[in-house]
Amino acid sequence: MKQSNTLTIGTGSATGTGTFSRCYPGDILVTASDTTNSAVIQVGTCSKFSHAVLMLDHERAIEAVPDGVNRALLNDVLNQSSEVFVLRHKQIVFAQALKIAGYATSQLGKPYDFLGAARAGTNSGCSAAFKYGAPGMAVLVADSLAKFGGGHDTSFFCSELIAKAYQSVGLSLSSKQPWLTIPGGLFKSDQLVVMAKLK
């Protein structure tokens, strides 16, 4: 792995001899799969993406899934997905990338944030009627009460974990707070560049 202070930024292939050989710690995978869960998230957020994963190195990643914050093998993520894009922050340097990976690793074992994921979905702008209607307000109140006194660092959903990891080094992924960041929002972010489409 090249360990310069600046990562190469631009569009095009991030692939080399191995699928992830030109990717770096801190790179983000946004994915979709052919599962009911993925379809529900895509419909609920008006996005073609349902999951986001943070790369640790050429083989491993960190993700927040219903079982909690866990390590994952990148090849497993690729095999379980029907669509995969690699994203990189426009201003990231290697030292920050390592700290981002370190922050995410320090969250291993924390539970999945089901209410937070629902709140982010209802706030995605997909359906104002849902956001401001009884279901959306119920999710907002329940999530706020659940986090009262503990903040947003006790549990994570996928894109929230990534946004918080970036925030820990002073990099923003969007104008939204990390707990309102959805996978589709990462793909649309003007702070991230598409490095490759792997699937």
**Model pLDDT for residues 28-65, shown as the tens digit of each residue:** 999 999 887 787 777 777 788 989 999 998 889 999 99
Is residue 21 domain-resident? no
Is 126's pLDDT higher than 70? no
Q: What is the pTM of this model?
A: 0.82
**Among the listed residues 190, 9, 188, the one whose alpha carbon sits nearest the alpha carbon of residue 97:** 9
Other beta carbons less than 10 A from residue 139's beta carbon: 21
Identify the pLDDT of residue 44: 74
- Would you list the DSSP string of 13-52? ---SSSTTTT--TT-EEEEE-SSHHHHHHHHHHTSS--EE
Percent over 70 (pLDDT), the chain:
75
Is 137's pLDDT higher than 60? no
Q: Which of 23-32, 43-52, 64-73, 148-157 has the lowest mean pLDDT?
A: 148-157
Domain CATH number, residue 126? 3.90.1720.10
90-107 pLDDT, tens per residue? 999 989 999 999 999 999
Identify the pLDDT of residue 183: 93
Is 3's pLDDT higher than 90? no
> Which backbone phi and psi does 177 adopt, to 5 degrees?
-65, 155
Is 147's pLDDT higher than 60? no
Domain hosting residue 158, numbered range: 28-197
Cα–Cα distance measured from residue 28 to residue 9, given in angstroms and rounded to the nearest whole number: 13
Is residue 1 domain-resident? no
**125 confidence band (pLDDT: 50, 70, 90):** low
Is residue 19 domain-resident? no
Is residue 146 domain-resident? yes
Is residue 13 domain-resident? no
The CA-based angle 72-73-77, given to 5 degrees, is 85
Q: State whether residue 136 is helix, strand or coil.
A: helix
* Strands annotated E in the chain: 28-32, 51-55, 60-65, 68-73, 83-89, 192-197
Identify the pLDDT of residue 6: 40
**151 confidence band (pLDDT: 50, 70, 90):** low
Domain count, the chain: 1
Is 12's pLDDT higher than 70? no
Is residue 2 domain-resident? no
Is 15's pLDDT higher than 50? no
**80 confidence band (pLDDT: 50, 70, 90):** very high
